Amino acid sequence: MLRTTPFHARTSALCQAQNWRRWAGYIAASSYELNHDREYHAIRSAAALIDVSPLYKYLLRGPDAQRLLNRVVTRDVEKCAVNQVMYTPWCDEAGKVIDDGTLSRLGEEMFRLTAAEPNLRWLQDNAVSLDVTIDDVSDSIAAVALQGPNSREILKRASDADLDGLRFFRLTSGRVQDVPVTISRTGYTGDLGYEVWVDAERALSLWDSLVSAGEPYGITPAGMLALDVARIEAGLLLNQVDYIPANKALIEARKSSPFELGLGWTVVLEKDHFVGQTALLEERKQDPEWQFKGLEIEWDSLEEIYNGFGLPPELPTVPWRTSVPVYSHDRQIGYGTSGAWSPTLKKYIALAHLQARHAEPGTELTMEVTAEHQRKHARARVVDPPFFDPERKRA
Partner 1 sequence: MASQNNYDAIVIGGGHNGLVAAAYLARAGKKVLVLERRHLVGGSTVTEEIYPGFKYSVLSYVVSLLRPEIIRELDLAAHGLELLPLESTVTPLPNGDYLARWADHDQTRRELYRHSPKDAEAYDEFGTLMYHLAFAIKPILAMVPPDPTSLNPGDLRSLVKLGNHFRGLGEEKLYSLIKLMTMSSADYLDEWFETEALKATMSASGVIGTFLGPRSPGTAYVLLHHYMGEIDGAFRAWGFAKGGTGGVSEAIASAARRFGAEIRTESTVARVIVENGRAAGVVLENGDDIRASVVVSGVDPKRTFLDLIEPGELPGEFVHAIRRFRIRGSSGKVNLALDELPELACLPGRGPHLRGAISISPSIEYLERAYDDAKYGGFSRHPFMDIIIPSMIDPDMAPPGKHVMSIFVQYAPYELDGGWNDARREEFGDAVIDTLSEYMPNLKDIILHRQVLTPWDMEREFGLTEGNIFHGELSLHQLFFMRPAAPWSDYRTPVRDFYQCGSGTHPGGGISGASGRLAARTMLEDM
In the complex, the residues that contact partner 1 under the rule CB under 8 A are: 33-35, 37-38, 41, 44-46, 150, 153, 215-218, 299, 312-313, 315, 341, 343-347
Nearer residue to partner 1 within complex by CB, 44 or 376: 44
We find the least distance from the C-beta atom of residue 219 to partner 1, in angstroms, to be 9
Alpha-carbon span 32 to 226, nearest angstrom: 10
We find the least distance from the C-beta atom of residue 44 to partner 1, in angstroms, to be 7
Nearer residue to partner 1 within complex by CB, 172 or 342: 342
Nearer residue to partner 1 within complex by CB, 240 or 307: 307
For 256-320, strand residue ranges (E) read: 290-297
Nearer residue to partner 1 within complex by CB, 117 or 303: 303
Q: Which amino acid is at 110?
A: M
Alpha-carbon span 354 to 380, nearest angstrom: 12
Which DSSP category does 116 fall into?
Answer: S
Task: Sheet with 110-115: list strands edge to edge.
Answer: 85-91, 97-107, 110-115, 56-61, 133-136
Alpha-carbon span 167 to 341, nearest angstrom: 30
Dihedrals phi, psi of 77, to nearest 5 degrees: -70, -20
We find the least distance from the C-beta atom of residue 378 to partner 1, in angstroms, to be 14
We find the least distance from the C-beta atom of residue 18 to partner 1, in angstroms, to be 13
List, in sequence order, every residue forming a beta bridge with 295; answer none if it has no partner: 350, 382
- Max Cα distance, the chain (Å): 68
Nearer residue to partner 1 within complex by CB, 204 or 315: 315
Handedness of CA 317, 322, 326, 330 (dihedral sign): negative
Nearer residue to partner 1 within complex by CB, 290 or 299: 299
Angle at 64 between CA 61 and CA 70, to 5 degrees: 105
We find the least distance from the C-beta atom of residue 57 to partner 1, in angstroms, to be 32
Alpha-carbon span 143 to 162, nearest angstrom: 19
Q: Residues with Cβ < 8 Å from 34, sequence gap 6 or more?
A: 16, 17
Q: Which amino acid is at 243?
A: Y
Could you tell me how many residues make up the chain?
395
Q: How far is the CA of 46 from the CAs of 148, 164, 197, in angstroms?
A: 6, 18, 21
We find the least distance from the C-beta atom of residue 54 to partner 1, in angstroms, to be 27
Q: Residues with Cβ < 8 Å from 343, sequence gap 6 or more?
A: 37, 40, 41, 44, 229
We find the least distance from the C-beta atom of residue 301 to partner 1, in angstroms, to be 12
Specify the 3-state DSSP secondary structure of 151.
helix
We find the least distance from the C-beta atom of residue 33 to partner 1, in angstroms, to be 8
Which DSSP category does 75 fall into?
Answer: S
Nearer residue to partner 1 within complex by CB, 46 or 261: 46
Nearer residue to partner 1 within complex by CB, 185 or 347: 347
Nearer residue to partner 1 within complex by CB, 89 or 313: 313
We find the least distance from the C-beta atom of residue 262 to partner 1, in angstroms, to be 22
| Residue in 87, 351, 149, 114 with CA at minimum distance from that of residue 235 | 351
